[in-house]
Structure 1
Amino acid sequence: MSAGSADEVVTRPKMINVFQPTLGEEEVAVVREVFQSSWVGKGRRVAEFESDFAAHLGVSREHVTSTNSCTEATFLAMELLGVGPGDEVVLPTVTFVGTANAVAAYGARPVFCDVDPRTLNPTVRDVEVALTPATKAVLLLHYGGYPGEVAQIAQLCRDRGVKLIEDAANAQASRVDGRACGVIGDIGVWSFDHAKIAVAVDGGVLYARDPELTARAVRLAYFGMEQATGYAEAMRGTSRWWDFEVSSFSRRSIMNDVLAAVGSVQLRKLADFVARRRVIADRYDAVLGDVPGLLLPPPLPPGHESSYYLYWVQMDPAIRDQVARDLYERGVYTTYRYPLLHKVRAYGADNRLPNAERVAQTTLCLPLHQGLTDADVDLITTALAESVAARAAAHAPA
């Protein structure tokens, strides 16, 4: 049989994804309800989603507003804090590209700091050495859902008169001593895109400690429009409800009722999702803990709660990429998040960050989502242990 012929069948194992949402009939039903309501734009469902998430965070509704993405919420955070030319924003080099883009887009300079070699979160010392008189804000990621030293970093920022923005995209359910990650600093942003734990298919949320900043974010997210009156007042004949003023030349960054309806259903399931992810992470710990040459995520400090967004292992850099290929051939997709931003030429950074540069060569993120079955987890752990052992033996000195 010739290669590429119509009769040729190539079989590969079904791929186990790193990320995967859990969506079902309840989400389909609420989308149908929104469609049948004849209103799919920003409306009642968005308001409900914002209230639901504020309650989840343990804050008043006036501190929270939704956006069309976490990245857009980060851009709004820059504008709310007046970040601009001549300013610096400190952020870990191990973070998502959208955060650095938000800094650079407003003419400020992203200053990348190093991270702890095991947690992949910046320590308070990593942040402190990156601060300068030009620092306007610190933009902190909670890697994999681990809170990290956010409380200490928040205190450092207060002492230095610097604002703290928490990128809580990995940390929908993470807490420190009962306080939700994202509300420990001055501004927090979250993602609800397709790859997160609770999803709205897409969308984001912004929290601001100062409710006046939240109110301003609401206006910025819709063309900078200042509505002259509410609909009810207009119908009483006091004004025309279509009149408005513009307070800033802004853009359209709002959520809609379709996404928000899905998001509210998913929020109700978030605790169960995280509980399942914790069971999987505990299983990884138990099975992989004795594999020679493999480092696992460190234990959480007392008072810290993780969202278990990522589970990462670390190994000899000489075998990491080969192990990833071995797992892929057995139907297990892995990845490394996040590529180092201080290595991206566009940001103009030239510093060396040795811990981050090391972990970028040793770290591999395993599948972790509530849709994994026990059989999936067994396959992943077996394939990983076998690959590490085989590759390590092949690289052992003769």
Structure 2
Amino acid sequence: MINLFQPQVGEEELAAVAEIFESRWLGHGPRTKAFEAEFAEHLGVEADRLVFLNSGTAGLFLAMELLNLSEGDEVVLPSTSFLAAANAIVAHGGRPVFCDVAAETLNPSWQDIEAAVTPRTKAVVVLHYGGYPGHIVEIAERCRALGIQLIEDSACSPASRVDGKAVGTFGDLAMWSFDAAKVMITGDGGMLYVRDAEQAARARRLAYHGLMQATGLAYAKVSHRWWELEVPEIGRRVIGNDLTAAIGRVQLRRLGEFIARRREIVDLYNTELADIEGLRLPPELPAGHESSYYFYWVRMSAAIRDQVASDLLAADIYTTFRYAPLHKVPTYGSGAVLPGSDQAAGETLCLPIHPGLSDADVLTVAATLRKAVEAHSKEAVPGGQA
């Protein structure tokens, strides 16, 4: 099977895990702090603004908690997003309000977001689709001017930048995901960025039961009764640990090679698929934009997309569409009419992309896709004439 995603781990990661085993300290500790500091340097932000967590989803939930949402508060987000963001909004008493995206980029413009903003809007969540930064510069400027908090769902975008500035650092809060399908992985894990120093300190407390102070040996060095607790507000335990952080530190060092190989795969797909009639490739990146190349998506007639996906699966090539439009999910109670999101959902197919793919794998995917698109395009035309 040619997989959509596949983690790249090897001897370096194994050695890092062995070192943790030898240390006999697997929990939250010095490697976690080192990973936060190294990722902060990668982003160009202060290390104390980052919190390593057990998942990207935990980062979204913490972000919503920091907003202090109350009944009636609205949070605008693209319908083409992972459901974790919408779940986090609802879980903290807010109402998700879905905005449209462009069918070509699957990213929203400011105009798409503005159409969903009301006096009750407390925050905007933006997903950088497939690692493409999108209109983040304008969106951040407009949100700041209106006093609306901006949360960047940068799960797909650990290496994405605009004019050298890291995606995830334009808004007020951001999160990255390091699950086993992402560009860089820790097995499970995520990173939360909080621009405001006091809110960052609060996020760190909330991530570990709401405790004001460190516990255990570290606190014993500064207090004669280190077992006593100070809990100003209730939190939960969603912190990362040294075992997963050790993997993350190696993956961060390898991130450049991962992105370089992903870019090579994108270039090969672009070359092999360019002349297929009726197939549209991802748009070119604007000047100054750098992508993490998490998705490679193609678009075709909605009349044939599902059949093409089935043909590829029959040939042991796994494809999918990410992400199914959330305004169609009854749980969220949306009645929004979003033509761009609907069009994208009907026409888009995400192809395999990960550094473990060989050129031969990419050529196999391209050839199989070509055959399926051409065959079903003829079937879709009366008389079988393309």
TM-score by length of 2: 0.97
Partner of 1:270: 255
Give the one of 155, 164, 167 matched to 2:141: 155
* Aligned amino acid, residue 297 of structure 2: W
Q: Deviations over 1:21-73 (max 9, x none)?
A: 00111111111111121111101111111111101101111111111111111
Tell whether 2:372 aligns with 1:365.
Answer: no
In 2, Cα distance between the equivalents of 1:382 and 1:225? 56
* Aligned amino acid, residue 313 of structure 1: V
In 2 relative to 1, CA 228–112 (structure 1 residues): closer, same or farther, beyond 3 Å?
closer
In 2 relative to 1, CA 229–326 (structure 1 residues): closer, same or farther, beyond 3 Å?
closer
Q: Is the 8 A contact 1:274 1:307 kept in 2?
A: yes
In 2 relative to 1, CA 180–119 (structure 1 residues): closer, same or farther, beyond 3 Å?
same
Q: Deviations over 1:174-217 (max 9, x none)?
A: 00111100010010100000000110001010001111111110
Once superposed, what is the RMSD of the aligned Cα atoms? 1.2
Partner of 1:12: none
Give the one of 240, 248, 251 matched to 2:225: 240
Give the secondary-structure state (helix, strand or coil) at the position aligned to 2:60. helix
In 1, Cα distance between the equivalents of 2:69 and 2:39? 27
Partner of 2:166: 180
Give the one of 213, 221, 229 matched to 2:199: 213
* Aligned amino acid, residue 87 of structure 2: N
* Aligned amino acid, residue 293 of structure 2: Y
- Ranges of 4+ aligned residues in structure 1 off by more than 2 Å: 228-236, 238-244
What is the deviation of 1:243?
2.3
State the percentage of identical aligned residues. 55
Give the secondary-structure state (helix, strand or coil) at the position aligned to 2:77. strand
Segments of 5+ residues of structure 2 without an aligned counterpart are: none
Tell whether 2:344 aligns with 1:344.
Answer: no
Segments of 5+ residues of structure 1 without an aligned counterpart are: 1-14
In 2 relative to 1, CA 343–306 (structure 1 residues): closer, same or farther, beyond 3 Å?
same
What is the deviation of 1:231?
4.6
Q: Is the 8 A contact 1:77 1:187 kept in 2?
A: yes
Q: Is the 8 A contact 1:228 1:244 kept in 2?
A: no
Tell whether 2:177 aligns with 1:191.
Answer: yes
Tell whether 2:312 aligns with 1:312.
Answer: no
Partner of 2:210: 224
What is the deviation of 1:287?
1.2
Give the secondary-structure state (helix, strand or coil) at the position aligned to 1:112. strand
TM-score by length of 1: 0.94
Q: Is the 8 A contact 2:213 2:219 kept in 1?
A: no
Partner of 2:35: 49
Q: Is the 8 A contact 2:2 2:361 kept in 1?
A: yes
Q: Is the 8 A contact 2:131 2:293 kept in 1?
A: yes
* Aligned amino acid, residue 199 of structure 1: I
In 1, Cα distance between the equivalents of 2:232 and 2:325? 38
What is the deviation of 1:241?
2.3
In 1, Cα distance between the equivalents of 2:137 and 2:193? 17
In 1, Cα distance between the equivalents of 2:141 and 2:172? 11
What is the deviation of 1:228?
7.1
In 2, Cα distance between the equivalents of 1:389 and 1:365? 18
* Aligned amino acid, residue 345 of structure 1: P
* Aligned amino acid, residue 185 of structure 2: V
In 2 relative to 1, CA 57–161 (structure 1 residues): closer, same or farther, beyond 3 Å?
same
Tell whether 2:152 aligns with 1:166.
Answer: yes
Q: Is the 8 A contact 2:216 2:227 kept in 1?
A: no
What is the deviation of 1:232?
5.8
What is the deviation of 1:84?
2.4
In 2, Cα distance between the equivalents of 1:173 and 1:355? 27
Give the one of 40, 64, 69 matched to 2:50: 64
In 2 relative to 1, CA 233–119 (structure 1 residues): closer, same or farther, beyond 3 Å?
closer
Q: Is the 8 A contact 1:227 1:243 kept in 2?
A: no
In 2 relative to 1, CA 214–392 (structure 1 residues): closer, same or farther, beyond 3 Å?
same
What is the deviation of 1:98?
0.4
Q: Is the 8 A contact 1:229 1:239 kept in 2?
A: no
Tell whether 2:95 aligns with 1:114.
Answer: no
In 1, Cα distance between the equivalents of 2:7 and 2:192? 22
Partner of 2:68: 82
In 2, Cα distance between the equivalents of 1:281 and 1:397? 34
In 2 relative to 1, CA 100–228 (structure 1 residues): closer, same or farther, beyond 3 Å?
closer
